[in-house]
């Protein structure tokens, strides 16, 4: 078995984080290959390895699994622990993953992922407030029903991986998800795998203009913990 997981910038790429942290925590070995967001539009370059022109992508020999959910389902067929063992927890986790994969549009648009900064956000829209309330409700339900400290019980599973990017968003924008949900956020931030991802994000010295513009439009940056920018990135054309 020789997986290669292709992801993008640690600071920006929320979709990349999902399978990366899942495989790290579950101890599924893989070659870690990063293809940075070198421009506002990366479709043509990413099409060389991804059928959708997006990341993440999992390469398994002559097979390609794409999309964070597609990769998760592929891994679940081959490795234990991706989903909870207990049937009720597994059913809940799968629904929660599907909800994250298809929903929370306001959260994605109004609070773009940027691991290294802290933002004083603009007044939230009603849609964003509904998304935040739903996060608090959903996380609280999982923690209450299955006993924690993870969302579907005592073990990290795919549902924690899918909400891992939201952990960074909660911290970046100071989102109020309530004390119960915040306890899970703090528990996740203490995971060695998430700390490894964060350290790599903070060490990145390049910035991609469109992603920087998105976070600037979301509010006022009040802290920036990232390494100093050496230059805007230049990557050779493929």
Query: What pLDDT digit, counting tens, does each position of 109-149 carry?
Result: 999 999 999 999 999 999 999 999 999 999 999 999 999 99
Confidence (pTM): 0.93
Cα–Cα distance measured from residue 196 to residue 10, given in angstroms and rounded to the nearest whole number? 10
pLDDT at 1: 59
Which DSSP symbol is given to 150? B
> Alpha helix (H) ranges present in the chain?
14-26, 43-46, 68-76, 87-102, 105-110, 126-146, 158-173, 178-189, 192-203, 209-218
pLDDT per residue as tens digits for the range 157-212: 999 999 999 999 999 999 999 999 999 999 999 999 999 999 999 999 988 899 99
pLDDT per residue as tens digits for the range 20-77: 999 999 999 999 999 988 766 777 778 888 888 889 999 999 999 999 999 999 999 9
pLDDT higher at 79 or 39: 79
pLDDT higher at 230 or 110: 110
pLDDT higher at 67 or 237: 67
Query: Which token pair is 142?
Result: 């999982």
Cβ atoms < 10 Å from Cβ of 176 = 14
**Which of 1-15, 40-54, 136-150, 213-227 shows the lowest mean pLDDT across its residues?**
40-54
The DSSP bridge partners found for residue 27 are none
* Mean pLDDT, all residues of the chain: 93
Could you tell me if 78 and 58 are in contact, meaning their C-beta atoms sit under 8 angstroms apart? no
Could you tell me if 7 and 56 are in contact, meaning their C-beta atoms sit under 8 angstroms apart? yes
Cβ atoms < 10 Å from Cβ of 213 = 12
pLDDT at 230: 57
In percent, the amount of the chain with pLDDT more than 90 equals: 84
| Position 234 pLDDT exceeds 80 | no
């Amino acid at each position: 078995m020789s997986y290669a997981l292709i992801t993008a910038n640690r600071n920006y790429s929320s979709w990349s984080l999902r399978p990366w942290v899942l495989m790290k925590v579950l101890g599924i070995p893989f070659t870690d290959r990063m293809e940075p967001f070198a421009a506002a539009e990366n479709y043509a370059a990413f099409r060389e390895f991804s059928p959708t022109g997006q990341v993440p992508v999992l390469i398994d020999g002559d097979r390609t699994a794409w999309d964070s959910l597609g990769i998760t389902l592929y891994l679940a067929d081959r490795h234990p622990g991706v989903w909870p063992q207990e049937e009720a927890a597994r059913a809940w986790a799968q629904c929660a993953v599907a909800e994250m994969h298809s929903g929370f549009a306001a959260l994605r648009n109004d609070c773009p992922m940027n691991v290294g900064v802290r933002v004083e956000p603009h007044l939230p829209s009603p849609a964003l407030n509904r998304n935040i309330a739903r996060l608090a409700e959903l996380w609280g339900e999982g923690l209450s029903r299955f006993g924690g400290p993870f969302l579907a019980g005592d073990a990290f599973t795919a549902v924690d991986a899918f909400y891992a990017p939201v952990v960074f968003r909660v911290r970046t924008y100071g989102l109020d998800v309530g004390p119960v949900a915040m306890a899970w956020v703090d528990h996740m931030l203490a995971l060695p795998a998430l700390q490894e991802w964060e350290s790599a994000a903070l060490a990145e010295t390049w910035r991609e203009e469109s992603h920087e513009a998105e976070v600037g439009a979301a509010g006022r940056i009040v802290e920036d913990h990232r390494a100093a920018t050496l230059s805007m990135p230049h990557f050779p054309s493929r």
